[in-house]
Amino acid sequence: MMPPKVPLLPPDAAAFAPYGHLVVPPDVPGRRQFYSDTLHTRPAGSAPVLHVNHVLPQSLPVEVSGIERHPHAAQCFLPLDVARYVVMVMPSDGQGQPAPERALAFLMPGTMGISYNPGVWHLGATVLDRPGHFAVLMWRGGPQQDDEFRTIAPMTLVAQP
């Protein structure tokens, strides 16, 4: 049996809204677009953490068998040097486990970032075309564990025809 295929959609703020925000530069020179409200939810006793990662590229189609979430804090990815990248999100079922049958995936340009709401199941940083670097901002620390990883039945992220 072939793994289910999930088509990569173009960036869509409305479709992504239940999972977080697309971080888009303002169209008007001299203007600012604020996303600070996405970072207000955080664990007591935590502190902001900013790091830069280095991600090796994958090729389409992308095979996915693992996802993660951060139940208590938002996580923001800002491309520093990325050609294109893949974002996949999914809601939780009634028991808080991932619901892969409801997964959405997006093909993102390197000029747009994303911010995941707390508790959103998502694919780890996945770049295409060449190695990439993201600045990642989130809260860490406090009494609650905030990294959850799950293995899921394999699925394949594919480009739309």
* Structure confidence by residue, pLDDT tens digits, 21-54: 999 999 999 999 888 887 777 777 778 889 999 9
- Would residue 119 count as lying in a domain? yes
Q: Which CATH number goes with the domain that contains 76?
A: 2.60.120.480
- Would residue 86 count as lying in a domain? yes
Give the mean pLDDT of 100-125: 96
- Would residue 77 count as lying in a domain? yes
Q: Could you give the number of structural domains in the chain? A: 1
- Would residue 53 count as lying in a domain? yes
Structure confidence at residue 17 (pLDDT): 96
Structure confidence at residue 86 (pLDDT): 98
Instruction: Give every strand in the sheet of 132-141, ordered side by side.
Output: 20-23, 113-116, 75-81, 132-141, 46-55
Give the tens place of pLDDT for each residue, 2-18: 889 999 999 999 999 99
How many Cβ atoms sit within 10 Å of the Cβ of residue 119? 18
User: Quick check: helix, strand or coil at residue 16?
Assistant: helix
Full residue range of the structural domain in which residue 22 is found: 5-26+45-159
Question: What is the identity of the amino acid at 73?
Answer: A
For the entire predicted model, the pTM comes to 0.91
